[in-house]
Amino acid sequence: MLTRKQHELLRFIQVRLEDTGISPSFEEMKEALDLKSKSGVHRLISALEERGFIRRLPNRARALEVLKQPENITTKPAVRKAPANSNDAPRPRTPLTAPANDVIEIPLHGRIAAGVPIEALEGQSTLPVPAALLGTGEHYALEVSGDSMIEAGILDGDFALVKKTNTARDGEIVVALVRGEEATLKYLRRENGMVRLDPANAAYEPQIYGSAEVEVQGKLAGLLRRYN
């Protein structure tokens, strides 16, 4: 059974995630629950995490995910009322802005072909990405080379944001490693025991391989584009 403050914090986090897609900062949680210090927030977060109501997302400072809600939860986030003495009234709050953890660094692994497969280079660079563009799980970025996916809105020089996974459904855009050496960004299709990698450009033909020749290394989660 959760305490009142635990209920309030859980509900506050859930509402903020539903409204903005970004978990609140510790300072915002402290103010919302009228706590005296951030250490109180830390204790509440730890208690909710131990009981399986929330979890901390990897690679993101202070980012949280709500896993479940208590049954029959009715508690709303605490609202601070102005004191009777108008001289003690709190100062108006400025509109909430995205916290500093809105941008995270993910690995940037070189270039990937959106045409004829080329080698996917492993690199040590990182790319700053708005956290709102990514969901749960581990992600990495690849710079797109070629024009075979332009009809899907993926252009040469774009950064493909990829969720790391070795499974994907038909019709999803994936990073496919071909014959253990070359990688390409294509629509995934399976038919008659074969794997077809479809471009999104009428000038290119589909690529067909045996199922053992293709390994899914991730699926497209988003794009970043530079305008120079």
Which residues in the chain belong to E strands, given as ranges?
54-56, 64-66, 103-113, 125-130, 139-145, 159-163, 173-178, 182-191, 194-198, 207-210, 214-224
Residue 100, number of CB atoms within 10 A of its CB: 9
d(CA 181, CA 217) in angstroms, rounded, equals: 12
186 is catalytic: yes
CB 101 within 8 A of CB 56: no
| Tokens of residue 136, six digits | 């749960």
Closest CA to 208 of 227, 193, 223: 193
- Told to judge if 145 belongs to the known catalytic residues of this protein, a careful annotator would answer no
Q: Which of 5, 30, 186, 219 is catalytic?
A: 186
Query: Which residue is catalytic, options 148, 163, 164, 219?
Result: 148
Tokens of 100: 């500093």
Which amino acids are annotated catalytic?
148, 186
